[in-house]
């Protein structure tokens, strides 16, 4: 009498058990219920002159037990992942209302607070120039910084124009260049944003921060919590 793994190798037999679902483009893998159906079918069809081999029976039962254990383990891992994700969301909820810096080419000007951000330096520099533009592309502020090592270099602007008057609250474009080994190169910037809420990405289980001006941002993108 053939053992289950041999019988599964027959596409015609497995298709009959699964109601032809393989041919219809449906389920491709057999479940433990399918294994049990095949196993019981073999038991009913065994020849009285050649009874079912006990060793083969034990092997089939072992396969069924292994499959059931694998499914339970997978469910346990999925449940554990979901619990971890929920725990991360609860922890991240402590960021609601706080400000964080996220790599971006914009940053908001907030009334009575001004605009702040940072420059991400890949190496030591001798000078840094930060340029701030309005939504029309007009330069409203240029900030000069001196020598600095690699890392994150903060900057801020009080939000006033050249005459000392307040600029309107809005999202302003930020960019920066740095002098590295005597050459001027563009470097990345980060804006400062307030966290409005947190959520969980159902597809990946990662924590998503909803920040003003950027929408949903993966928590892993944060470079600084203020």
Return the higher-pLDDT residue of 98 and 16.
Answer: 98
Measure the CA–CA gap between 119 and 177, rounded to whole angstroms. 9
Residue that has been written with the tokens 């037990």 in this structure: 65
Residues 6+ apart with CB under 8 A from 211: 100, 102, 193, 194, 195, 196, 217
54-92 and 32-45 are packed helices; what angle lies between their axes, rounded to 10 degrees?
Answer: 170
Both tokens assigned to 191: 């804006």
Residue 181: helix, strand or coil by DSSP? Answer: coil
Q: Has residue 26 got a pLDDT over 80? A: no
Measure the CA–CA gap between 109 and 107, rounded to whole angstroms. 7
The single-letter DSSP state of residue 220 is G
pTM, whole model, 2 decimals?
A: 0.62
Q: Has residue 146 got a pLDDT over 70? A: yes
Residue that has been written with the tokens 């599964």 in this structure: 8
Q: What is the 3-state secondary structure (H, E, C) of 168-187?
A: CCCEEEEEEEEEECCEEEEE
What tens digit of pLDDT does each residue of 154-211 get?
Answer: 999 999 988 889 999 999 999 999 999 999 999 999 999 999 998 877 777 778 899 9
Residue 40: helix, strand or coil by DSSP? Answer: helix
Residues 6+ apart with CB under 8 A from 71: 32
Both tokens assigned to 34: 């399918």
What tens digit of pLDDT does each residue of 65-79 get?
Answer: 666 666 665 665 555
Q: Where are the domains of the chain?
A: 4-93, 96-225
The single-letter DSSP state of residue 166 is B
Looking at residue 75, its pLDDT comes to 64
DSSP per-residue codes, 137-158: S-EEEEEEE--B-SEEEEEEE-
159 within 8 A of 172, measured Cβ to Cβ: no
Measure the CA–CA gap between 128 and 12, rounded to whole angstroms. 71
What tens digit of pLDDT does each residue of 117-131 get?
Answer: 999 999 999 999 999
Measure the CA–CA gap between 129 and 214, rounded to whole angstroms. 24
Measure the CA–CA gap between 129 and 97, rounded to whole angstroms. 30
**Among 88, 62, 82, 85, residue whose Cα is nearest residue 4:** 62
Angle at 25 between CA 23 and CA 29, to 5 degrees: 90
- The topology (CATH level 3) of 96-225 is Immunoglobulin-like (2.60.40)
């Amino acid at each position: 009498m053939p053992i289950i793994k041999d019988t599964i190798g027959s596409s015609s037999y497995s298709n009959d058990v699964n109601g032809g679902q393989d041919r219809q483009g449906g389920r491709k893998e057999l479940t433990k219920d399918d294994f049990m159906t095949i196993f019981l079918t073999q038991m009913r069809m065994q020849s009285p002159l050649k009874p079912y081999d006990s060793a083969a029976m034990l092997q089939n039962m072992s396969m069924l037990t292994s499959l059931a254990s694998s499914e339970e383990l997978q469910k346990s891992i999925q449940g554990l992942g979901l619990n971890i994700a929920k725990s991360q969301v609860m922890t991240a909820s402590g960021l609601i209302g706080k400000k964080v810096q996220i790599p971006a080419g914009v940053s908001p000007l907030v009334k009575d607070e001004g605009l702040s951000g940072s420059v991400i330096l890949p190496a030591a520099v001798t000078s840094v120039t930060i340029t701030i533009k309005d939504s029309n592309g007009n330069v409203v502020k240029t900030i000069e910084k001196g020598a600095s090592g690699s890392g994150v270099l903060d900057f801020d602007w009080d939000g006033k124009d050249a005459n000392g008057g307040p600029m309107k609250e809005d999202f302003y474009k930020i960019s920066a260049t740095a002098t590295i080994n005597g050459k001027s190169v563009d470097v990345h910037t980060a804006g400062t944003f307030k966290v409005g809420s947190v959520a969980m990405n159902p597809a990946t289980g990662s924590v998503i921060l909803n920040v003003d001006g950027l929408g949903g941002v993966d928590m892993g993108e944060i470079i600084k919590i203020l």
